[in-house]
Chains A and B, each alone.
Chain A
Amino acid sequence: MKNTKMTLSARTMNLDFVRKVEKLSGTSVRRCFQCGKCSAGCPMRSFMEHPPNRVVRLLQLGQYERVLAGRSIWYCASCETCSTRCPNKVDLAAIMDALRKCSWDARGPSKESFVQLANRIFIENVRTYGRQYEMRLAAVFNVKSGQFLKDIMLGPSLLAKGKLKMFHQKNRNIHEIEKIFSRIEELRRKGGAL
């Protein structure tokens, strides 16, 4: 960590945020006793500035802004190895989901934009088509991330193998799918959903 100096007080503990994460994730942040088993098994730890156990420690110490501003939460692959191996039954994968939601909703200052962009296009595709449209997912990602030539060499062989469908049929029940999205938005506007 670049800045290791921190001052702790009841005011800096940000217990409200911890409670919010616990409510969203349905698991306890405070129960973690820092054995580090999650980080030992995490396949993504070498890509993270804060390994998983430190993410939890920072939350416990009220330093959530440092977590939300960093890349670690977006470099979690949701493989759930951490939750599987935690000896104290902390569902760290669910905590990561909750943290990403907090950052996402706040359109937060995270350094990691590509993963968020990929998620956004993926979800947009579900809303528009009902099923994933892989060709569009890759094409829109390349355009919006400014990497026009990314994976361009894979294109011809995937097309030749029939693995890229150029055209994609929308689901017949696409109106019902749109309703799911709009009802969730309605529920959130009314404050009835997290």
Chain B
Amino acid sequence: MTAQKHVLDYSYYPGCSLHASAKEYDESTQGLFKALHIGLTEVPDWLCCGATPAHNVDELLSLSLCAKNLELAKGVEGDLAVACAACFSRLKTTQHKLEIDPEKRRQVEFAIDAPFADGKKVKHLLEILARDFGLERLAEAVKKPLSDLKVACYYGCLLTRPPEVPELDCIEAPTIMEKVIEAAGAQTVSWSHRLECCGANFTLSRPGVVLKLSADILASARDAGADCIMVACPLCHGNLDIRQQEIEEATGEHFGLPVFYMTQLLALAVGVRESKLGLDSMIVNPLPLLKKKGLV
């Protein structure tokens, strides 16, 4: 597909997980954006943003890794599209901190041996779909409405935080995920744990934390009558999907909730082929639900 055919063009920072444990997020993002004629050009040689471990113990390292990525992204045209909520939060935080703190900026510029490349707009995929592309156009592109599918939209922690960089949506009561998936015809449920932490990277060091916090989230979604959960973060997905069976065994409760990336559901709605959605990578099998709703 040539660039002229694209209605919008972005540089793309997938983040580490999208090349491994969250490959279905990458796959469905590429499929969805292609179907919507939105161009994505991956930033060459991008590196890890440092995620939580880097800023936890070494802020300068965290800021420098993100600044290096922003410098690499400068070479690719278009605003920077980011899929992972944690990468998104780190990149935005770096821009904010280096803007307001000349001393930190000086140290980071020394570390990356380059002037800080500011000015690139960092956007989460949700923002691109809801605002740049637009909800109306998205609704028009829907070929297979997700009507009858009750979705619990799970934001997790980092899509709307930190509070100084609140550009995605309202910090405490965001609605952007609901709006996007409702544009695809789905129903959304009202539930209590939309913004509660899933246990994040304790999945490696202290999985007991994840079992407790993610169990509460799954129970809340189930009790609200949801058929499935929709996420926009690979770590949230890992905790709710990969550990779901373990959580069921630990709590003795049954959830059976497929956990979709938002791009998987949207791609399904706009008619991307089922084999391009990465549905077979999900641990909780989504096919019985999708068959029941007549979507596959």
Contact = CB atoms under 8 A, between A and B. Distances in A.
B56 A119 contact: yes
Interface in B175-206: 195-197, 199-202, 204-206
B57 A119 contact: yes
B172 interface: yes
B59 to A, nearest CB: 6
Which secondary structure characterizes the binding site on chain B? helix
A122 B19 contact: no
Residue of A163, A172, A192 with highest tally of chain B CB at under 10 A: A163
B283 A97 contact: no
B3 interface: no
Interface in A93-122: 93, 97, 100-101, 104, 114-119, 122
Interface string A131-165: 11011011001000000001100100110011111
Which secondary structure characterizes the binding site on chain A? helix
Interface stretch (B105-113, B140-148, B223-231): B105-113
Interface size range on A against B = 35 or more
Interface residues of B, number: 61
B161 interface: yes
Contacts of B110: 183, 187, 192
Interface of A: 24, 26, 43-44, 46-47, 75, 77-81, 83-85, 91, 93, 97, 100-101, 104, 114-119, 122-123, 125-126, 130-132, 134-135, 137-138, 141, 150-151, 154, 157-158, 161-165, 171-173, 176-177, 179-181, 183-184, 187, 192-194
Interface of B: 16-17, 19-23, 45-48, 50-61, 64-65, 68, 97, 101, 107, 110-113, 157-158, 161-163, 171-172, 195-197, 199-202, 204-207, 209, 212-213, 242-243, 246, 280-283
